[in-house]
């Protein structure tokens, strides 16, 4: 009889997960990240509109860039940026893809480059653990990301892939804690969703 009551009172897995993420502050972290992300995106779009209206025709600049530089060179720059803490906003490259001869194809290559950049960052994190001085330095600088990755694992990688949080930093943290690579690859695929979503909503090129 007691065993039956235990089975009946056992909570579903999703409820237990919900309680865990609520208790550890995951939802608060995601909400804070979204609030932080909205302002930069709005400012970025506003700056583009202002520059386009009062300084220079951005459409023409993007067309000139596509005619002057090879797609391979632009993709190489973006891959380097995504491998090194996301130094250049992906939105600039998405805008470039929108003005290229093959928007959807180049957008897909950008998403792939971002995904591969994250993988490079993951292995950078694994390599860092073998250099004590560098590991200690980055562990101090990235302590919050590392602790969050240890607590939330795949869910934090999902957030990093979808939201304007430096995906490279999340990937490095995943490498440092030796997060399962196959799971990282799976969750990292959501990077494609972010690029297509941005292209559709902001730039309307999909």
**Residue 128 belongs to domain spanning:** 37-203
Domains identified in the chain, total number: 1
Q: Locate all alpha helices (DSSP H) within the chain, ordered by sequence.
A: 2-9, 13-24, 26-54, 58-68, 71-83, 90-99, 103-128, 132-141, 143-152, 154-162, 167-176, 181-188, 190-198
Residue 6 lies in a domain: no
Calculate the alpha carbon distances from 9 to 23, 78, 140, 185 in Å. 21, 52, 43, 36
Residue listed under structure tokens 């700056």? 47
The reported pLDDT for the residue numbered 135 is 66
Mean pLDDT check: name the lowest of 43-57, 78-92, 98-112, 159-173.
Answer: 43-57
Residue 27 lies in a domain: no
Q: How confident is the model at residue 162 (pLDDT cuts 50, 70, 90)?
A: confident
Residue 143 lies in a domain: yes
Residue 89 lies in a domain: yes
C-alpha angle 202-194-16 in degrees, rounded to nearest 5: 130
The reported pLDDT for the residue numbered 34 is 66
Residue 87 lies in a domain: yes
Question: pLDDT tens digits, residue range 185-202?
Answer: 999 999 999 999 988 876
**Residue 53 CA neighbour count, 13 Å, CB half:** 6
């Amino acid at each position: 009889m007691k065993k039956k009551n235990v089975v009946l009172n056992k909570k579903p897995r999703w409820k237990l997960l919900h309680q865990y993420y609520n208790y550890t502050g995951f939802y608060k972290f995601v909400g804070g990240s979204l609030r932080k992300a909205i302002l930069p995106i709005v400012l970025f779009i506003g700056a583009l509109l202002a520059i386009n209206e009062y300084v220079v025709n951005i459409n023409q600049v993007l067309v000139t860039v596509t005619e002057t530089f090879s797609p391979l060179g632009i993709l190489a720059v973006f891959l380097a940026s995504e491998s090194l803490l996301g130094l250049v906003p992906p939105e600039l490259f998405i805008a470039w893809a929108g003005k290229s001869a093959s928007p959807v194809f180049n957008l897909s290559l950008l998403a792939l480059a971002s995904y591969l950049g994250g993988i490079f960052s993951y292995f950078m994190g694994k390599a860092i653990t073998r250099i004590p001085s560098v590991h200690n330095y980055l562990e101090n600088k990235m302590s919050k990301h590392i602790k969050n990755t240890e607590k939330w694992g795949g869910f934090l990688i999902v957030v990093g892939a979808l939201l304007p949080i430096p995906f490279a930093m999340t990937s490095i943290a995943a490498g440092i804690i030796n997060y399962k690579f196959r799971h990282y690859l799976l969750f990292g695929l959501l990077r494609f969703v972010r690029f297509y979503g941005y292209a559709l909503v902001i730039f309307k090129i999909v």
